[in-house]
């Protein structure tokens, strides 16, 4: 936007463009081998869910194939994916955790 000053000059007024950062869903994927208890534990440990909510999400993933654990900025989502994947691998489970843009 340009605004005319008293002396006739034009002043360019920059409008601050503050865009919300892109957000990413972190999802758990179903598989046939990871124990249900372990998935509930992961949801409690890495996504701060109550045991009750973690159990609901686990069953949703079990029935539907995938489920959202949370929505975060890119770096937070990527860290969750890494931590969950590393923990599952370390515990010998094939549990998959992925992110996708919201």
- Binding residues for ligand TYC, rule: CB under 6 A, are 28-32, 34-36, 39, 58, 61-62, 95
Shortest Cβ 71–ligand TYC spacing (Å): 17
71-101 burial by CB neighbour count: b if 16+ within 10 A, else e?
ebeeeebeebbeebeebbeeeebebbbebee
Q: Give 22 or 65: the residue with its C-beta nearer to ligand TYC.
A: 65
| Residue appearing with tokens 């919201």 | 102
Shortest Cβ 96–ligand TYC spacing (Å): 7
Q: Give 25 or 62: the residue with its C-beta nearer to ligand TYC.
A: 62
Alpha-carbon span 17 to 14, nearest angstrom: 9
């Amino acid at each position: 936007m340009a605004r005319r000053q008293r002396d006739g000059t034009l002043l360019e007024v920059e409008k601050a463009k503050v865009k919300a950062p892109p957000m990413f869903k972190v999802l758990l994927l179903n598989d046939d081998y990871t124990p249900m208890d372990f998935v509930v534990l992961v949801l409690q440990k890495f996504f701060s869910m109550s045991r009750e909510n973690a159990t609901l999400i686990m069953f949703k993933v079990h029935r539907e194939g995938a489920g959202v654990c949370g929505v975060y900025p890119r770096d937070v989502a990527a860290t969750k994916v890494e931590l969950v994947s590393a923990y599952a691998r370390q515990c010998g489970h094939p549990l998959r955790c992925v992110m996708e843009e919201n």
